[in-house]
Amino acid sequence: MRNRFILWSILFLLLMGLPIGVPAAAAGHDVHGLPPADDMVFLPHLPGLRNKALRNDNGQKRMLSEAVALRGSSVQDGKASVPPGGFFYLSEVSGDAAPFAGDPFLLLGEQAYLVDLETGSHETKGLSVKLRQKAPVDDTGYRVWFDYATDHYEKPYGEIALIAPSGGWPLEMPVSSAFEGRDQARALQVGEGFVPQIKHFFLDREYLYGATRVVTRHLDFDRVDFESIRFPVIRSATFSMTRPVILDIRQEDYRYYFNKRIYAFRRPDGFLVRVTDFFGDVVLAEKLVRPATAQGYKTMASERDQYQLTIPELDMRIEIKIEPALARNSDFAPWAASKAHGFGEGTLRLVVWRNLVTVRQGEPWPLDPRYVVGLEPNLMTGMLQRLVLENAEPFSLDNETGSIAGPVKWSDWWFNRPAFTLTAGDLDGPACHNLYLRDYYLVRTDNMVFWPKEGRRNIDFFVGLSPVLEPILESTFLSRLADPSFGTVVEGSHFSSYPKAISDGSFYEPDHSAPFVPRFPGLKRKIYRNGKGERLLAAESVFIRGSYVDYRNGRIVIPPAGLCYSSRNARNVRPLAEESFHLLGKRAYLVGFDSSTFVRKNFQLDFWKNQPMGDDNLMYWQDQLLGVRNKALRFTGHHYLDDRPEAELSLMKYSGNRWGSHFFMAQGLAPDAGNRYRMPEVFAEGATWIVPEFIGTQFVRIKEFGTPTINSISFTYDKPADCAMAAGEEVPLGGYVVRCERTEAAAGAVTLSLLDREGKVLASKELALTPERARLLPQDRDAVRALQLAYADVVVELDPRQPFSAGKANLHAYTGVQLLERDTPFEFDPRFMVRPDVCGHCYQFNELLLDNPEAIVLDRAHPTYDGPKGEDGQPLFRIVIDSFDGEMIHAWHMETTEDGETRRSENLAFQPRDNLDVLLGVTGTTEGFLRLSMLPRLAFMEQWRTWSRGGYAKLSGAVNTGGSAHIRR
Amino acid sequence: MHRTTTHTTTEDGFDYMANTGQAEKDRDACGMLLAVAIIAALTFFQYLGLY
Amino acid sequence: MTPHDVSAYGRTRKSILSSLYGYGEILPGLLAMLFIGIFANNLPGVPNPFTLENLFAWLDGVVGPLHHTPLFQILNSNFVWNPLLLGLLVGNVFGVPDSWKRGLSLIHMLMPLGIILLAPHFPIGHAFKLGLVPMLLCVAALLGTAGLTLLLARLCKVDDRHGAVIAGGLCTGDPHACAILMPLIKAKGGQVVNAAAGLVVFGLVAMAAMPVLAGWLGLPEQAFGLAAVLGVGNGAQATSAAFAYGYEAGRYAGWFDVGRLVIMPAGFLSVFSVMFVRKLRHQADPDVRATRGIDRFPVWLGVFVVCWLLACLHLFHEPARHAMFVMVKWTFSLAAASLGLSLSWRDVLAPGPRGLAVIAMAGIIRMAAVLAMVAICIKTGLLPQ
């Protein structure tokens, strides 16, 4: 239901058809919050753009990254034009950077530290946004995007995102004005284990995300009206461009700081810090400073001032740090190795920050007025996440003035100089043929025009491996990864003495370097109309997960549940609407489904941090399984918000995909009590809910958790017949005859009987569309069944949209109905098991998986394996190992027979590999896998294009933490 | 300060690039034995799973 | 070597270890090699950022890639060439102190050591994926080039050691092979460096010419990948030439390169065998200098062949192969430093321009032959269109 696959497919088709995309915005538009052009070039590396993992004063890991991007450009008449805000540098930190934590931050290549922040919030009221529109929020540069709307019980709910000026956003927020709020979940009365469907559907009108709050007034399918959108802003930030000077000092004594003395006198509520001249005669500054420790509330505006003494004219900021010896794995002061606070010896530690640079939101960068500063907070914590320096004035490049210097960088030991220079050359008419970026080391990128003869119509690009690229590429990443220009991209494996060996592939995702083959002849991808006339995309994919080479025995192993066939539509498949999906290349129609709720009560969930194998070879013992082969609950992240723990949980599906929603919860945050943040105390979206008892940072104790599960579906390959019947009429159906006994149009009821050829009544039922049932359609199983008469392999159902016309009942008749039951062998090929999967929000059929219950072993004597076979006994595909030396797979491919011809994929081990993991075809499932490995994949594509062997950093998706974490969906 | 003669020959007539006779055989043998030892050790350790 | 030395070694020899001299005697030379090595290459285990390799990598970045290939790799910067250049520079600018020379003689122990350690790097099985025809083309190009070059060298009256080294380097498509042939052929250091430099220079010409010629023939990109690997000089030059033709050609140059790589030992073994047999036949001829001093088939070369066979039988797994290659890097870095130190500029120029002429002639004929063979294979359907 949350699946946005149809959007992808439309974009995908569009992009496949257009060799060159349309610029995102013509020059002159406000480009804030918009992505670069669809055909912009992404290069992951330039030495001057750094990627570092550092630890702050509290020992917390911070991933720092830098990037340079250009958007909204166009090339005309030999001139490339860039609007204001089009050319920008950005520096990003994972999580956030806050005062008093010694948080590192990169500033144009320099390793700086954030020391102070002035924060606030912005609220806009009465904003209306149309579907797919990205509407500006006042003059903040932010945009609100109404990405997607769908329905439940035929009532609308939607997903919106708040996009920062750089183009980044942390998550999509589901909101609605038509359903019950999340707090109603507390009132649910259900048993434990498998219980019947619940009728409730929860979706709040208010989305709470720490410092961000979105309140919806009204949402329908093509427009949303907001009551209020409030989000944090940062007014100014102060950085120390170098590491601090750290002085251990005894109380009532002084230490020299260059030519100054700094005294510390003990007072009941802190230390009186006094700065004097060299001889101690002239007092330059004096203030009572309290020691700063790790408590988060100290960053509040009302508290901040008590913990530091800043003397701008002396370029000093003094803090007193309490630094426990156990936090020694910190880049903050790696040489500090004594007792921390030092009361054992009567000493304390002064931290003197210097080389202070203060930047203000919307004002010029202090070293270069051509560039304007943007400070983007983490929308949850309100602290600094991203710094942007963007061009203040529009500019253009032509063959005479082919270069523009980027912002001037601060330098500790060398002169301040531009951090990078952009050069565009060989501009003729509407195309640019040469484009590169040169950093302050004078190193340049490859030509960012990949086909110089043809040239490009814009000069948009993104250079640097920064996670903000993930939301920026939201609409184009799939078409980028599926781009066939450079053949099937295959990443070589690293061969080790200890290749991963997985005993069971359930809940795993394919290797992050698994080749992705977007189009494979045997796999269908087609748009069908359902009974309502809606166009729905149905697609198939195949993936292999958890496979490995057992080199000691010279064989390749695909573990149980490792070879998966998946059929999935752009949204879930609904009954009573003659909706179709694919089953092994054939069109099948959904007839019915059997779902229930799985409820667990009173259990603990460990924080998912101990990954004992440490090699992407994960152990799932910290997950809580919800039923067998259904879903697994995982505790993936936490923050402190005003010192209260906030937990992030997510649901893993059997397919290895994450369910779209993230479960954010924190207890006891109250704005009335002075908290800056608000978070939901329970989670409830659709029919999945969590009522926590205790939320901690190491574990969460859950009082009640419920989520849908699907047991079986019924379908048919035969096209359903529509018929209208009046009382007394008879229609043959399969080997039977349907007779309409009675119609009551006013009551919405029809009574049908099913007779055999001799006229004997085999079954009889009144199908009645009562208002109560209509309210629950099409998602409620019982309401659906009440409209269906089923016997043996035939089903007759009443059309819920228009049950009667001209006194006749409108019926759909299905013959040849078959049942696909969870965990049973597939009818035509018992080597495979049936695993239907459910939509997480509701109870409907979402995906059909066929996977192997036994391990598959391939070696030189057995180099092929047939995929699942259909009714005709023909396998859908075949795995063929062409060259395997017992350790390295040098060549293998997938093949299928189409029109009597064998169609092969490209070699999927073009560079030698140690596993057979692969993604074939595009469905929401493969899209989910690709999303988790987006950045490393895109980075590798660039290596593949030029056949270079440079290393690349794994910033995201290295492990399946339930999201590449930068984009939580 | 070192006094240098040609690049390869010392004052007492030792030429380090000359490699003949028994010295050559001995050097070859040393290299060969070391190589075999290294290959054997690395292979053995890998089979034992030490790296 | 003077009789003085022979007798001196004979007098002091106690065991084969005597050829390595005493620790005190070799220490200065060993340190010289070590320092040149660690300032030339990013050697595994030495976190020194100030290396020639990094300097070249930075310059590559400043200049920008040439058809997606770094310039200094096209100019053959690698773990043998870098210390050799640095050694050449140090030796010619500062001279080589006598105290270093005992230690520098370790080169003669390091060369067989490095060459044997290199054997696991050539498992034939890695090339089976290419299929029979490309593999046969690789073998034909290798043996044909070796024979042709030796023949031309003789016709041009090039010193047979120089000619053999050229033949080895040209047929394997890797100037490394020149260094590997040095102890086998008993070539002079100057001849080796001269040959390698000539190969790099000719490689630049071939790199520019091949895409143009293939364009006239209208070769498909995939086939040009193969032609570039077989017809251009070193690996980076082949890649650059292929990328000049197209992205797919570049990718397939990487794919076919393994075919050239795994049969490399056959290249220098065949050149050695030819020269060795020739010497046995012409013992008295003073013009037959190659392999002079090698009386019988060297045992260590036999060990190399055995290790190569074991590699082809997949005795060595990938992690071990990597570990051995790390050792090769170390060994060749030290040996190349010593070789660089041994040469004066004059030594490098001494073999004269004839070698380059041989390279050019053989190279041009090979280019034409490779393009013709590939084109014929395509016409006859032996290679995919």
CB-based contact A695:A667 (threshold 8 Å): yes
Closest CA–CA distance from residue A918 to any residue of chain C (Å) = 19
What pLDDT is attached to residue C257? 95
Residue bearing the bigger pLDDT, A311 or A898 = A311
Residues A800 and A842 in one domain: no
Cα separation of A202 and A683, whole Å? Answer: 9
Domain of A530 in residue numbering reads as 485-569+835-946
- Which chains contact A through at least 3 pairs of Cβ atoms less than 8 Å apart? B, C
Within a domain: B36: yes
- Which residues are within 8 A (CB) of A272 and not within 5 positions of it... i.e. 6 or more apart? A263, A264, A265, A266, A286, A287, A288, A289
- Is the distance from CB of A35 to CB of A475 less than 8 angstroms? yes
Q: Tell me if B3 is assigned to some domain.
A: no
CATH at residue A178: 2.60.98
Q: Using CA atoms, how far apart are residues A475 and A11, in angstroms rounded to an integer?
A: 7
Split at pLDDT 50, 70, 90, the class of A507 is confident
Assess if residue A460 is contained within a domain. Answer: no
3-state secondary structure (DSSP) of residue A607: strand
Judge if A735 and A774 occupy the same domain: yes
DSSP SS3 for A216: strand
Indicate the DSSP class of residue A21: P
Q: In A, which residues are within 8 Å of C128 by CB distance?
A: 883, 885, 890
Query: In chain B, how many domains are there?
Result: 1
Q: Distance, in angstroms, between C359 CA and closest chain B CA?
A: 26
CB A938 within 8 A of CB A465: no
Span A287-314, average pLDDT: 92
For residue A79, is it within any domain? no
Q: Indicate whether A757 belongs to any domain.
A: yes
Burial of A709 (0-12, 13-18, 19+ CB in 10 A): buried
Scanning every residue of chain B, which has its alpha carbon at the shortest distance from the alpha carbon of C18?
A: B26
Q: Which residues of A769-843 form beta strands (DSSP E)?
A: 788-791, 794-798, 804-805, 808-814, 818-821, 825-826, 829-838
A652 in a domain, yes or no? yes
* Domain assignment present for B29: yes
3-state secondary structure of C361: helix
Q: Is the pLDDT of residue A21 over 70?
A: no
Domain membership of residue B44 as a residue range: 20-51
**A441: amino acid identity, one letter:** Y
Neighbour-count burial of A354, counting CB atoms closer than 10 A to its CB (0-12 exposed, 13-18 middle, 19+ buried): middle
Instruction: Report the complex ipTM.
Output: 0.94
Nearest residue to C359 via CA among C187, C145, C189: C145
C-chain residues near B49 (CB < 8 A): none
Give dist(CA B17, CA C87) in Å, integer.
14
Task: Look at B2 and C107 and tell me if their CB atoms are within 8 Å.
Answer: no
Instruction: Using the predicted structure, report yes or no on whether residue A174 has a pLDDT greater than 70.
Output: yes
A668: phi then psi, degrees, rounded to nearest 5? 80, 15
Residues A693 and A631 in one domain: yes
Q: For residue A332, what pLDDT is reported?
A: 53
Give Cβ neighbours of residue A818 (< 8 Å, ≥ 6 apart): A714, A715, A716, A793, A827
% of chain B residues with pLDDT over 70? 90
pLDDT > 90 in chain A, percent: 70
Residue C233 has pLDDT above 70, yes or no: yes
Which positions in chain B touch A497 (Cβ < 8 Å)?
46, 49, 51
Would the pLDDT of C292 be above 50?
yes
Among C residues 306-345, those touching chain B with beta carbons less than 8 Å apart: 307, 315-317, 319-320, 323-324, 327, 338, 341-344
CA distance A130 to A107: 37
Kindly report the number of other CB atoms within 10 A of residue A577's CB atom: 22
- The C-alpha atoms of residue A730 and residue A647 are separated, in whole angstroms, by 60
Cα distances (angstroms) measured from residue A352 to each of A260, A298, A876, C300: 12, 18, 68, 65
What distance in Å separates residue C302's CA from the closest CA in chain A?
25
Region A782-792 average pLDDT: 92
Same domain, A248 and A228: no
Minimum CA–CA partner of A498 in chain C: C319
Residue A409 lies in a domain: no
In this structure, is residue A21 part of a structural domain?
Answer: no
Query: Do the chains contact at C126 and A446, CB–CB below 8 Å?
Result: no
The 3-class SS string of C43-81 reads CCCCCCCCCHHHHHHHHHHHHCCECCECHHHHCCCCCCH
Q: Does C6 touch chain B (CB under 8 A)?
A: yes
- List CB contacts (< 8 A) between A486 and chain C: 247-248, 251
Return d(Cα A749, Cα A467) in angstroms, integer: 56
Q: What is the pLDDT of residue A952?
A: 44
Domain harbouring A763, CATH code: 2.60.98.40
Tell me what pLDDT residue C221 has: 95
Q: Are A171 and A969 in contact (CB under 8 A)?
A: yes
C 107-136: CB under 8 A from B: 107-114, 116-117, 120
3-state secondary structure of A195: strand
Average pLDDT over residues A455-477: 93
Distance CA A16, CA A485 (A): 11
Q: How confident is the model at residue A345 (pLDDT cuts 50, 70, 90)?
A: low
**CA distance linking residue A425 with residue A261, whole number of Å:** 56
Interchain pair A890, C128: CB under 8 A: yes
Q: Establish if B44 belongs to a structural domain.
A: yes
| Total tally of structural domains belonging to chain A | 5
The answer, yes or no, to whether the previous bond of A778 is cis (omega within 30 of 0) is yes
**How many Cβ contacts (< 8 angstroms) between chains B and C?**
154
How many C-beta atoms surround the C-beta of residue A644 within 10 A?
17
Under an 8 A CB cutoff, do C243 and A436 touch?
Answer: no
Domain contains B15: no
What is the H or E stretch that residue C355 is in?
helix C354-379
What average pLDDT does this structure show over C258-268?
94
Query: Side chain identity at C203, as an amino acid letter?
Result: G
> Do A219 and A136 belong together in one domain?
yes
The rounded radius of gyration (Å) of the Cα atoms in chain C is 21
Provide, as residue numbers in chain B, all residues whose Cβ is less than 8 Å from the Cβ of C293. 20, 24
Q: Is A937:A930 a contact under the CB 8 Å cutoff?
A: yes
Percent of chain A residues past pLDDT 70, beyond the cut: 91
Q: Helix (H, G, I), strand (E, B), or coil: what is residue A788?
A: strand
Count Cα atoms within 13 angstroms, Cβ side, for A945.
23
Q: Is B13 among the domain residues?
A: no
In a domain, A544, yes or no: yes
The answer to whether C17 touches C60, Cβ cutoff 8 Å, is no
Q: Of A296-310, A360-374, A645-659, C20-34, which gets the smallest average pLDDT?
A: A645-659
pLDDT score at A616: 46
**pLDDT band with cut points at 50, 70 and 90 for residue A609:** low
Range from A228-232, A949-953, C33-37 carrying the lowest mean pLDDT:
A949-953
Query: With contact defined as beta carbons under 8 Å apart, do A688 and A708 qualify?
Result: yes
List all residues 6 or more positions away from A19 whose beta carbon is below 8 Å from its beta carbon.
none
Residue A413 placed within a domain: no
Q: Which of C97, C111, C189 sits opposite B4 (nearest CB)?
A: C97
The better pLDDT of the pair A963, A671 is held by: A671
**Cα–Cα distance measured from residue A529 to residue C334, given in angstroms and rounded to the nearest whole number:** 72
Question: Side chain identity at C367, as an amino acid letter?
Answer: M
Alpha carbon distance A292, A310 (integer Å): 14
* Torsion angle of the four alpha carbons C46, C52, C55, C59, in this order, in degrees rounded to the nearest 10: -140
Q: Which pLDDT tens digit goes with each residue over A392-421?
A: 999 999 999 999 999 999 998 889 999 999
Amino acid making up residue C232: V
- Environment class of A342 (CB within 10 Å of its CB; exposed 0-12, middle 13-18, buried 19+): middle
- Mean pLDDT, residues C193-204 taken together: 94
Indicate the angle between helix axes C189-217 and C318-342, nearest 10 degrees.
120
Other residues' Cβ atoms within 10 Å of the Cβ of residue A303:
13
The model's pLDDT over C359-375, given as tens digits with 9 standing for 90+, comes to: 999 999 999 999 999 99
C183 in contact with B at a CB cutoff of 8 Å? yes
- Cβ atoms of A109 and A395 within 8 Å: the answer is no
**Residue C30 pLDDT more than 90?**
yes
Characterize A196-218 residue by residue with b for buried, 16 or more Cβ atoms within 10 angstroms of its Cβ, and e for exposed. Answer: ebbeebbbbbbbbbbbbbbbbee
| Residue B5 resides in a domain | no
Residue A960: predicted pLDDT: 34
Contact (CB, 8 A) for A594 and A710:
yes
What does the buried/exposed string (b/e) look like for A542-562 if buried means 16 or more CB atoms within 10 Å of the residue's CB? bbbbbbbbebeeebbbbbbbb
How are strands ordered across the β-sheet holding A420-428?
A: A403-405, A420-428, A431-439
Phi, psi dihedrals of residue A133, rounded to the nearest 5°: -80, 150
CB contact under 8 Å between A497 and C61, yes or no, is: no
B41 in C contact zone (CB under 8 Å): no
Average pLDDT of the segment spanning A18-30: 48
* DSSP SS3 for A799: coil
Counting Cα atoms < 13 Å in the Cβ hemisphere of C126 gives 25
Cα C178 to Cα C111: distance, rounded to the nearest angstrom: 12
Q: Residue A880's beta-bridge partner residues? A: A864, A893
Using the predicted structure, report yes or no on whether residue A801 has a pLDDT greater than 80.
yes
pLDDT-derived band at A661 (thresholds 50, 70, 90) equals confident
A498–B46 C-beta distance less than 8 A: no
C17 neighbourhood in chain B, CB within 8 Å: 26, 30
Contact (CB<8Å) A885/C123:
yes
Q: Could you give the dihedral angle defined by the CA atoms of residues A282, A285, A291 and A292, in that order, rounded to the nearest 10 degrees?
A: -140
The answer to whether B51 contacts chain C (CB < 8 Å) is yes
* pLDDT of A962 strictly over 80: no
